[in-house]
Amino acid sequence: MFGTVVVGVGIAGLARIRDLMNPMPSSPSEHLKLFGFVSRRSFGSINEAKQISLEDALRSKEIHAAFISTENKTHEETIRMFLEAGKHVLVEYPMALSAKAAHELWEMAEQKDKVLHVEHIELLTEEYKQLKKEVAGKDLVKGTLHFTGSVLDENKTGFPAFSGIARLTWLIDLFGDLTVTSATREMQKDKNYSRMTVHFQTANK
């Protein structure tokens, strides 16, 4: 069995705990054993998974991999700690708040001979797979992708582009490398409203 720990118990972290405690039959998850979860808040246990300290998770010889589900701002530091401790890492997107930090983390994982995987579960859904089939072999002439959400705390999530990075990975996976041609941001603090508009161009323009 491959020992794991979940770090962070927001929506994503709780889903990880649930899935690790009740793996799908014949799935790779059946070979994973959840040794506990790490959180700044005190829970004791969740769904029979016990809370352990960060220090114990890093030191444990039984834990081989960490699932990081904390706010964006802390991803980089947490990844570094677990790689330093010789653990494999799966992290919810984005891996870090800068490309420079992300490249450093990839290099660190290679040096440590550890897997560093950025999870984007949407790319594995049946709906997305169907979308990919529909655009295969077609030329993109023009398109718009619009999505909405609540206003995020930039101190925790980073610049607004990071809240949309999942959609950007959709576009790159579907249409290849993109170049930013323009970007604007509109803010109405009195209405707690923020909008970011970005124009991209594909390699064949």
Q: How many angstroms separate the CA atoms of 20 and 82, rounded?
A: 19
**Hey, what are 64's tokens?**
């081989």
| pTM for this model (two decimals) | 0.79
- Among candidate residues 95, 89, 77, 86, the one with its CA nearest the CA of residue 115: 89
What domains sit in the chain, N to C, each tagged with a CATH number?
2-119 (3.40.50.720), 127-202 (3.30.360.10)
Alpha helices in the chain (DSSP H): 11-21, 54-59, 72-84, 99-112, 126-135, 154-157, 165-175
> 117 and 91 in contact (C-beta within 8 Å)?
yes
The pLDDT tens digits along the chain (205 residues) read: 899 999 999 988 999 999 999 988 888 889 999 999 999 999 999 988 999 999 999 999 999 999 999 998 999 999 999 999 999 999 988 899 888 999 999 999 999 999 999 988 788 889 999 999 999 998 889 988 888 877 777 877 777 776 677 778 888 999 999 999 999 999 898 988 888 899 999 998 9
Residues 6 or more apart whose CB falls under 8 angstroms from that of 96 comprise 75, 76, 79, 102, 105
